[in-house]
Amino acid sequence: MTSVFITLLGIGAFLKLSIAPKKATDIAIAINRQGITGNTTPIARAAGLIEWKDIVDYQIEQGRLLVVLVDPQKYADRMKNFFVRDTFMKGQKGIITISFAETDSTYEEIAKYMIHYVDHNSKVI
């Protein structure tokens, strides 16, 4: 029982270290004129810059931003790691999840930036 707990604790610590930005000065999420860049999840990091023109819709949930894409394959082609690409296309069904739970950002701040930059054809679901 103890070994299972220690194993799960180790896996959790590994995931936390591999998902979170590497340094305190690293930008976790950038929302600007060009689009969105997330470094808080392996899929978002592998996708790189998500351009506004490629976003069909988005949803802001507790601690995460879900981005629905026009052409998920375009972003899958950027992903070098097979497991990340496979998770993105099959598990996430082409939706990029960007966590902001580990940042100082609130739901309201993320919503404010998204509304400021998003095309008015998109909507919050």
**Binning pLDDT at 50, 70 and 90, where does residue 38 land?**
confident
Q: How many CB atoms lie within 10 A of CB 61?
A: 10
- Reported as a single tens digit per residue, the pLDDT across 55-65 is 888 888 888 88
Please tell me the total count of domains within the chain: 1
The beta strand positions in the chain, using DSSP E, are 29-31, 35-38, 50-51, 55-61, 64-69, 95-99
pLDDT in tens, 74-90: 988 888 888 888 888 88
Does residue 75 sit within a domain?
Answer: yes
Does the model's pTM come out above 0.85?
A: no
7: in domain: yes
Q: Measure the CA–CA gap between 61 and 101, rounded to whole angstroms.
A: 10
Give 100-121 pLDDT, tens digit per residue: 877 777 888 888 888 887 755 4
C-alpha 91/C-alpha 89 separation (Å) is: 6
Answer yes or no: is 122 within a domain: no
124 part of a folded domain: no
Q: Give residue 60's domain range.
A: 2-117
Using CA atoms, how far residue 40 sits from 22, 64, 103, in Å, is 10, 10, 9
Half-sphere exposure of 84 (CA within 13 A, CB side): 19
Is 46 contained in some domain?
A: yes
